[in-house]
Amino acid sequence: MVTRAADYALRATLVLAGLPPGARLCLGELAGRCDVPPAYLYKVLKSLARAGLLAAHRGVTGGYELTARAREASVLDVVEAVNGVPVLNTCVLAGGCHRAPTCPAHPVWQQAQERMREVLGGSRLADLAGSGRAAPPAAGRPARRPRAVQVLRERPCVEHGIRQPGRASRRPRSTNAEAGARPS
């Protein structure tokens, strides 16, 4: 069964695949574009990074980007990175069901499993991202205006605690006693 995590992983990789190579998005921006809770997406992105499909960068120009391998990856690669091998029914697992030799439904499940793997394996992220289909905005939310990629690379990611350039730092004010102020 394909889980919600696999769905979120596919959403995120398709958003990133639609960007030019080397472009990055911070977690908040990526979560917004995918309509996924950031905390959940973070866990999914960690799985994709472990599988070598995603690179995470820290700092002012940080964010997430697809690796070169991911740009050639299939939907099946993304699903397997998060879920392992997707299975329609337990009887198609290796050593799955003891009734497989006599079960009239087993060949149907087996064929459906093979076809699902063929379809997912034959669908490339690069092809899907280049199809030009924009995801509809989430219900009840206005459509987001896309931003230029150059702005996203140069803009610091606020959610990681990095100050925006040009802002003055704020120091805590000291009390009169701390400053050694004399009474007037």
| pLDDT score, position 9 | 95
pTM comes to 0.66
Say how far apart CA 115 and CA 122 lie, in whole Å.
10
| pLDDT score, position 75 | 94
Q: Are 16 and 26 in contact (CB under 8 A)?
A: no
* Backbone angle region of 105, left / alpha / beta, with phi > 0 → left and psi within -120 to 50 → alpha: alpha
Q: Is the dihedral of CA 48, 51, 54, 59 positive or negative?
A: positive
| pLDDT score, position 152 | 38
**What is the chain's mean pLDDT, rounded?**
76
| pLDDT score, position 49 | 94
Say how far apart CA 120 and CA 128 lie, in whole Å.
12
State the distance between the two ends of the chain, measured CA to CA, in whole angstroms: 76
| pLDDT score, position 80 | 93
Least confident span in 33-42, 61-70, 101-110:
101-110
The pLDDT confidence band at residue 180, using thresholds 50, 70 and 90, is: low
Say how far apart CA 168 and CA 150 lie, in whole Å.
24
Task: Note the pLDDT tens digit of each residue in 145-172.
Answer: 444 333 333 344 555 444 444 444 444 5
Per residue, the 3-state secondary structure of 44-73, as one string, reads HHHHHHHCCCEEEECCCCCEEEECHHHHCC
Question: Does residue 129 register a pLDDT over 50?
Answer: yes
| pLDDT score, position 3 | 86
H or E stretch covering 78: helix 75-83
Residue 25's DSSP bridge partners are 64
Percent of the chain past pLDDT 90, that is, above it, reads: 41
Q: Is the dihedral of CA 154, 157, 162, 166 positive or negative?
A: positive
| pLDDT score, position 139 | 45
